[in-house]
Amino acid sequence: MPAGTGSGESGQAAVAFVAVVPVLVIVALALLQAALAGHAVLTAAGAARAAARADYVGADPERAARRALPPSFRAAATVEVGADSAAVEVTAPRALPLGPRIPVSAASLLGPPEGVPGG
């Protein structure tokens, strides 16, 4: 039997592989969850901007914000329109059914009531 080809070495590689795979799966799921949360933030920001634009032209900002959201976000979204800002809060989709719920929000300033000079 040549040196270095003992029967224990092939088993060691299998043990190392089994130890690394769960870590890689957890890292992949964490990255996926971060991407889903990022998507939710961008979606909420777009809806908040839509509310600000609607308010600027005299339309209903809450309706505009809800219409700017994808259908999967609309039911659970919270839209708050104040005197000078619009805020939209949504819950990011979960990578796993048992994963945490991550609420994200974005806000946009509304223009002045008299509009922008020269605008």
Task: At 30, give phi and psi (nearest 5°).
Answer: -65, -40
Under 8 Å between Cβ of 79 and 65: yes
* The predicted structure's pLDDT at residue 117: 62
Q: What is the mean pLDDT of residues 11-23?
A: 85
Closest CA to 87 of 68, 64, 112, 106: 106
- AA identity, residue 79: V
Above pLDDT 70, what percent of the chain? 85
pLDDT of residue 113: 65
Locate the DSSP E strands across the chain.
78-81, 85-92, 102-109
Mean predicted confidence (pLDDT) in 66-92? 94
Helix 7-57 to helix 61-68 angle (10° resolution) is 150
The per-residue pLDDT for range 21-74, each reduced to its tens digit, is: 999 999 999 999 999 999 999 999 999 999 999 988 889 999 999 999 999 999
> 42: closest CA among 77, 20, 69?
69
pTM of the shown model: 0.77
Token pair for 37: 């949360």
Question: Worst-scoring range by mean pLDDT, 5-14, 20-29, 76-85, 103-112?
Answer: 5-14
Confidence band of 9 (pLDDT split at 50, 70, 90)? low
